[in-house]
Amino acid sequence: MSMSKRALLLSLASVAAVGGVVAGGLAASAASAAPEKPALENGSAHYTAPSASGAGSFTYTVDVSDNSGIRGLKVVAWPASSKLEPTAADLRDVESATCKTTSDDTSRCTYTFKVAKKEAADAAKGTWYVSALATAKDGDTTFVSKAATFDIAG
């Protein structure tokens, strides 16, 4: 999917965004009888700029858990300078991370994409955030507006 299509999905202001990244949130207290919501742990974002020898990449990886298991994770990356502040509703239509089950209730989710030289040149320099929306098998969701931070050097 092209850079402009990713940006269109997220931004009415047509801000160029280097595609997506992930979800998570706070788990309900173990002592509580309330249903558990998906939780995000050990998340990290990594950006590698394109070089003379090839494309760069963006990767976001996180462990997502819920007592019912994980259905999926939606992720988007956005520049802090854009002041976008995506919402859970914004993330429903963005690309999904690939999630692999690691236990009955936990999956390791990874979102990655290649970054072409033109995309990198057009991307805002400075701090970027990753927003994530996790969905459990029982339908519960957790949205994290700033699940991870990374920098694109200028």
Tens digits of per-residue pLDDT, 71-116?
A: 999 999 999 999 899 999 999 999 999 999 999 999 999 999 999 9
Beta-carbon-side half-sphere exposure of residue 147 (alpha carbons within 13 Å)? 38
Q: What is the pTM of this model?
A: 0.78
pLDDT, residue 31, reads: 37
The Cα–Cα gap between 45 and 60 comes to 4
Strands 56-65, 39-48: pairing is: antiparallel
Tokens at residue 33, please? 């009888």
Model pLDDT for residues 33-79, shown as the tens digit of each residue: 455 899 999 999 999 999 999 999 999 999 999 999 999 999 999 99
